[in-house]
Amino acid sequence: MRTGPPETGHRPRTRLRPRGLRARLLVAFVLVTVLGAAAAAWSSAGSASTALVTSTQQRIAEGLAGRLGAITPQLTYPPDQDALDRLRTAAGGNTVVTYRNLRSAAGTGTDLVPGTLRAAVRSRNRLVTQRITAGSRPWLVVGTPITITAPDGARTPSGIEVYSVHDLTGVEQQIGGLTRSATTTAALALPLAVLLALLAAGSVLRPVRELRDTARRLAGGDLGARSPPQGADELAELTVTVNEMAESVQTSMLAMARMQRDARRFAADVSHELRTPLSTLTAVVEVLATSADGMEADARESAQLAIVETHRLVRLVEDLMEVARLDAGTAQLRVEEVDVAGAVRDCLRARGRLDRVEVVAPEGISLRLDRRRLDVIVANLVGNALRHGEPPVRVIVSEAGEDVRIEVTDRGPGLPAHVVPHVFDRFYKADAARTRTPGSGLGLAIALENARLHGGDLTAGNADGGGARFVLSLPRHREDS
């Protein structure tokens, strides 16, 4: 719903226009049916009413001519008033008979005779008719001269004119009945059209709906979803195309997953294989360390370098194995009731960083979690802040609704925008030039995986006052899955 100022004009039309395929098919069917039925009804009612009017008109005209013709041979000519009265009586109804200045009229409506009709009677010397509407009623006016026929057949006007007015209301009522029955027939066709439209819409919409369900399942991750094509129409073609698309997506997804799995197993295998020679190497280096003091200066330097790098290598392999465990889903959570503030202080104290880090942690926030993994996360975040940021580094523990949040901030330059999406990537180096750092390059990735293992999340960003800001949020009530 829009809440802006009421904007008229286009909106009602948009709302009226039917949206669904079913509604559109229905409307189209009904429109076609109504138009067709209306056209048929109009045409049949029109021709029937024309025929009715014409035949009525003809019957009236012929009747009048016949009645007049039957009496004329007995009529005095030139006519007197009595002769005109006899003619008028013979014509019957609403009639006026004139001869020069003589006139005989009876009935109502004789003043309706239009001038055009009088003119036509005089000029054509034939019987003429005209339909008029007066007082919202239809009338038929028949006008005719009485002609004199010579024995040889030549006709001349006698000067006698007869005008007769007939009410056509009865005919109009009959036509109204015709129109009503036509309209009723058209209306009866409507439910049938709706039924047909629904059937047609159903046959079109069923495959569409199946296709939609399939697409939804595909989008939901079920790559094996297919819909069987039915028939040989365009919808069947579409279904086949969608199936092909799903097939190729599934194939490439499977290949990608296999490659990923292979790569992880390779990393796991490599780190595992490295462990045994590394432990030997470590033992050798320990021996080397104890005897380093008796060496010459440059030899001692080399030995110390070897010791440092070996320790680095050991940590890297440990981290790699941890990542491999997390990837394989074999990492175990040892959940216990932990006092968060205490755990954070213990972590910093164990690494001798309590004096360089400011901890803001209210007492009494306890959470069920794996103490070792929380330790790993906090150590990684704080180590990262000390290494890349500027002091003061601050750890803030707080409660936010259903979550417990542990925030680690520093006052350094913060994370550049292009770095933020990749902070948790494995072996990602923010500064390509600074390739050698004491970390393994897996710390933040492991921290994120550990947070997720708890059902929580770890996000990176920048604090309002500048400096990087990592937020670990852990749910207070974790649903055990």
Partner 1 sequence: MKRIWPAVVVVFLLAGCGVQASDVTDGGDAPTGVAPGMTLYLVDAHEQLRPELRRTGHLGSIPEALALLLSVPSGSDLHTEIAPTPVTRVSVTPTTGVLQLSVPLTIHDVTPLGIDQIVCTALGAHVQAGGDRHTKVQVRFVQPTPESDQARACPLITAR
Residues that bind partner 1 (CB under 8 A): 31, 34-35, 38-39, 41-43, 45-46, 49, 53, 57-58, 61-62, 64-66, 68-69, 71-79, 116-117, 120, 124-133, 138, 142, 144-153, 155, 158, 160, 162, 168, 171-172, 175-176, 178-179, 182-183
| Comparison of 146 and 323: residue with beta carbon closer to partner 1 | 146
| Comparison of 84 and 235: residue with beta carbon closer to partner 1 | 84
Distance in Å, CB of 180 to partner 1, minimum: 9
382's CB contacts (< 8 A; 6+ apart) are 347, 348, 351, 353, 357, 393, 395, 408
Distance in Å, CB of 25 to partner 1, minimum: 16
Distance in Å, CB of 12 to partner 1, minimum: 12
Distance in Å, CB of 113 to partner 1, minimum: 11
Asked if residue 427 lies in contact with residue 435, where contact means CB atoms within 8 angstroms, the answer is no
**417 HSE (CA, 13 A, CB side):** 0
Asked if residue 162 lies in contact with residue 94, where contact means CB atoms within 8 angstroms, the answer is no
Q: What is the separation of C-alpha 237 from the centre of its chain, rounded to a whole number of angstroms?
A: 23
Distance separating alpha carbons of residues 77 and 67, to the nearest angstrom: 18
Q: Is 398 exposed, middle or buried (0-12, 13-18, 19+ CB in 10 A)?
A: middle
- DSSP letter for each residue of 74-115: GS-SS--HHHHHHHHHHH-SEEEEEETTEEEEESS-GGG--H
| Comparison of 120 and 314: residue with beta carbon closer to partner 1 | 120
Distance separating alpha carbons of residues 442 and 449, to the nearest angstrom: 11
Distance in Å, CB of 83 to partner 1, minimum: 9
Helices then strands, counting H and E runs in the chain, come out as 10, 12
* Type of residue numbered 235: L
| Comparison of 68 and 218: residue with beta carbon closer to partner 1 | 68
- DSSP letter for each residue of 260-284: HHHHHHHHHHHHHHHHHHHHHHHHH
Distance in Å, CB of 34 to partner 1, minimum: 7
Q: Both tokens of residue 477?
A: 């009530």
| Comparison of 148 and 196: residue with beta carbon closer to partner 1 | 148
Distance in Å, CB of 448 to partner 1, minimum: 58
| Comparison of 171 and 367: residue with beta carbon closer to partner 1 | 171
For 429, list phi and psi in degrees, rounded to 5.
Answer: -115, 120
| Comparison of 38 and 359: residue with beta carbon closer to partner 1 | 38
Distance in Å, CB of 21 to partner 1, minimum: 18
| Comparison of 61 and 423: residue with beta carbon closer to partner 1 | 61
Distance in Å, CB of 13 to partner 1, minimum: 9
| Comparison of 124 and 349: residue with beta carbon closer to partner 1 | 124
Per-residue burial over 421-443, b = 16 or more CB atoms within 10 Å of its CB, e = otherwise: eebbebeeeeeeeeeeeebbebb
